[in-house]
Structure 1
Amino acid sequence: MTRAFLDKQPSDVASMFDDVAAKYDLTNDVLSLGQSRLWRKAVARAVDARPGDRVLDLAAGTGTSSLPFERAGARVVPCDFSLGMLGEGKRRHPRLPFTAGDATRLPFADDVFDTVTISFGLRNVQDTEGALREMLRVTRPGGRIVVCEFSHPTWAPFRTVYTEYLMRALPPVATAVSSNPDAYVYLADSIRAWPDQPGLAALLAESGWSRPAWRNLTGGIVALHRATKA
């Protein structure tokens, strides 16, 4: 089984997610103690998809994150570079237009989407700023980006407890419920190495997005960043 490392070679990351596709949603629910469902609801509220909106859902995996946009009447395109994830998603939700694509080289024209969103996937892209610029390219003027990603807890004592969970509790729990426990060792490593909330907001601005802002979820374990295309 494949484990990615912090150099985030695309082939390694894609293969790692291929390995965990079948149990990915279940494993996330267990490891997040059920919080992942609340985070998905927060993303859906932030995107606020309306009938006829064009929504690009990047790192969509099996399509679970795309369902709220479809139910709202939007034309959602779930996109991922893991063929294993896409195959599992197509099996579960055959009506959705799953599309294979690399976030740094999106297979879409300029100014196509009203909203681009990515949940727990930007951290796995080798070139973060390149991906943010690509998302800007495919978003129409006045459109928005919504990024949901692991971040840094804001309360220092809780941050210590959370770091201990990542280092000590997450690997054995992943061993019990995941088809590829090593993937969740990478998960813990990549979370610790990821920029904090102001750091990601700065990357959004440097990539050309306007008015970046964020809202903390679950004490800052996750942050919901938003910005617009001028």
Structure 2
Amino acid sequence: MFDDVADGYDRANSFMTFGFDRRWRTITGRVLDAKRGEKVLDLAAGTGVSTVEYARNGAWCLAADFSVGMLKAGKHRGVPMVAADAMKLPFADGSFDAVTISLALRNFVDTKAALTEIARVVKPGGRLVICEVSTPTFPPIRFLHRKFIAKLLTWVGARTSSNPEAYSYLAESMLAWPDQRTLGEIIASAGWTEVEWLNLTFGVVAIHRAKKPTVNS
């Protein structure tokens, strides 16, 4: 499905978010705070637009995605890329200082299992940063968001994509996604500690961050 929409995905994403996706990436990068000498896995990175953002301070950032079509669409970005299944990552234990996922965790077939597998490839004391759709905290905005998001995505898909059904799926997955606290509980149940979140744009999206326990904790 993502192979089919790869070529126009970034443009459609910016259109559907009214350009807020750029700001969300910038803030996610600040929360991640990747430094020179660190190794960061940008999982479900799509075309690598987020990977470029997270590598700005000199960290080595690897874009990984299940969709080869998305990776091919972003090969011009010049960041290292690899095809990978989040449920069975092709990396050794403790390979990365941090893992980040931007607006893609809801596409994983089993959220808790994926978060457990991600913890395996992160060093003890390493961190997890997730930017994902969430539940607006202000009731009027929550009402409007739920009422119009499916219509907007369906409209965009019908006019810009060779696979309109993909955008219907994206709308459904957004509306079915758990709220901030529930996702935090899922992250904690997968073995992560110090789980906290930050609402962006009234909670339309939220950034969750957590740490992998050290050996002695």
Of residues 123-132 and 95-104 in structure 1, the stretch that sits farther from structure 2 once superposed is 95-104
Change (3 A) 1:179 1:45: farther
The equivalent position to 1:207 in structure 2, one of 179, 184, 190, is: 190
2:205 corresponds to which residue? Answer: 222
The CA deviation at 1:176 is 2.3
* Superimposed CA distance per residue, residues 72-102 of structure 1 (whole angstroms, 9 cap, x where no aligned partner): 1111110000010111122x12x32201101
The equivalent position to 2:95 in structure 1, one of 112, 137, 146, is: 112
Mapped contact 1:144–1:228 kept (Cα < 8 A): yes
1:9 corresponds to which residue? Answer: none
Aligned runs of 1:11-160 on 2, under 5 Å? 16-90=1-75, 92-93=76-77, 95-160=78-143
Mapped contact 1:39–1:217 kept (Cα < 8 A): yes
Aligned-residue CA RMSD in angstroms? 1.0
* Superimposed CA distance per residue, residues 106-129 of structure 1 (whole angstroms, 9 cap, x where no aligned partner): 000001111100011110000111
* Matching residue's letter, 1:155: F
Mapped contact 2:63–2:79 kept (Cα < 8 A): yes
Q: Unpaired segments of 5 or more residues in structure 2? A: none
Aligned runs of 1:184-199 on 2, under 5 Å? 184-199=167-182
Which secondary structure state, in structure 1, belongs to the residue aligned with residue 22 of structure 2? helix
1:174 corresponds to which residue? Answer: 157
Mapped contact 1:31–1:174 kept (Cα < 8 A): no
Mapped to 2, the partners of 1:167 and 1:28 lie a distance apart of 14
Mapped contact 1:147–1:225 kept (Cα < 8 A): yes
Mapped contact 1:27–1:178 kept (Cα < 8 A): no
Change (3 A) 1:51 1:18: same
* Matching residue's letter, 2:135: H
Q: Percent identity of the aligned residues?
A: 50
Which secondary structure state, in structure 1, belongs to the residue aligned with residue 37 of structure 2? coil
Mapped to 2, the partners of 1:169 and 1:228 lie a distance apart of 36
Mapped contact 1:23–1:179 kept (Cα < 8 A): no
* Matching residue's letter, 1:72: N
The alignment's TM-score, normalised by the length of structure 2, stands at: 0.95
Which secondary structure state, in structure 1, belongs to the residue aligned with residue 27 of structure 2? helix
Which secondary structure state, in structure 1, belongs to the residue aligned with residue 175 of structure 2? helix
The alignment's TM-score, normalised by the length of structure 1, stands at: 0.90
**What is the total number of aligned residue pairs between the two structures?**
213
* Matching residue's letter, 1:23: G
* Matching residue's letter, 1:198: R
Which secondary structure state, in structure 2, belongs to the residue aligned with residue 226 of structure 1? strand
Mapped contact 2:195–2:208 kept (Cα < 8 A): yes
Runs of 4+ in 1 over 4 A off after TM superposition: none
The CA deviation at 1:177 is 2.8
Mapped contact 2:32–2:129 kept (Cα < 8 A): yes
The CA deviation at 1:183 is 1.0
Mapped to 2, the partners of 1:113 and 1:169 lie a distance apart of 37
